[in-house]
Amino acid sequence: MLRCFLLIQLIAFSFLHSQETKTEEKKVVAADKTKKIEKPKKKTIEKALKNTKGSHWAQNPCQNERYLELKEKKLDEMSQREYEYFLRYDEKCLNRQAPNLKKNILNGFEIGFSSSIPVIFGEALSKESIGLSKSLIIITPAGMNFGPLYSKVGLEIYEFKSPFGDFKKRVLLFTSNSGLKYKGYGLAGGIKGGLFPDGYGGGLNVNLDLPFESPLFMKLSAQAIIMPHIYVENGYTGWVEAGINLFYNF
């Protein structure tokens, strides 16, 4: 009898324990369903985005605050220090954007047209008329840059009226120019040389750059042309001319 009584007590205890366990599980499930999911506050998200954006901009020279402010200023309104700062960050910005830009074989080239009129003649040409000369000028990116100083090489197709006959001549000249740029303005000097119809010749030139608010810019130029004299053995003659050049910077 005692064994039967203990067996009944054990079965009853197991049954009650299983019921309590099921009740606790139901409570946990109900609590999970009614529990609200906490969403991050809007201000927290905005702050995180702002911090991320600020970090990105800090590493991007194109978004430098001072650089952006200077872009809105005209060149004449910048101090020398501001202009140098602008050039430095403008170069950094271009370098950063370079992988995303389409390659252009003309990048860095300057192409211009020149028209000049002679103002001083050599002694042998005092009675000759040179007339208006014209040039197609190509300045390549090949050269050196050191701060505001630069040196570049290029080509020039020079057309002039022959002083020894009423006909035009075209010659190909190789050019080299060095100069200084300041706030878009520039002062440069150069040499040029090539094969003229009667032998080797060349010239010296001085240019003053006048900037526009565009890729276009103008040069005021003066140059001296030296060429062989066909009537004097081993002799040379020449003239000095002044002109205006219009360039496009790619």
Q: Return d(Cα 42, Cα 21) in angstroms, integer.
A: 41
Q: Return d(Cα 183, Cα 74) in angstroms, integer.
A: 9
Task: Answer yes or no: are the C-beta atoms of 239 and 123 closer than 8 Å.
Answer: no
Give yes or no for residue 160 having a pLDDT over 80: yes
Task: Answer yes or no: are the C-beta atoms of 106 and 245 closer than 8 Å.
Answer: no
Q: Which of 38-47, 144-153, 183-192, 203-212 has the lowest mean pLDDT?
A: 38-47
Percent of the chain with pLDDT over 70: 66
**Could you tell me the pTM of the whole model?**
0.56
Average pLDDT over residues 45-67: 59
Q: What does the block give as tokens for 178? A: 């060095």
Residue 167 has a pLDDT of 64
pLDDT classification of 36: cutoffs 50, 70, 90: very low
Q: How far is CA 20 from CA 7, 14, 30, 56, in A?
A: 20, 10, 15, 58
Average pLDDT over residues 106-135: 80
Q: Which of 89-93, 164-168, 237-241, 245-249 has the lowest mean pLDDT?
A: 164-168
Average pLDDT over residues 116-133: 74
Q: What residue ranges do the domains of the chain occupy?
A: 42-100, 110-249
Give yes or no for residue 249 having a pLDDT over 90: no
pLDDT in tens, 184-230: 788 999 999 998 877 899 999 999 988 776 778 889 999 999 988 76
Residue 129 has a pLDDT of 62
Is the four-CA dihedral 30, 32, 34, 35 of positive or negative sign? Answer: positive
CATH of domain 110-249: 2.40.160.20
Residue 24 has a pLDDT of 55
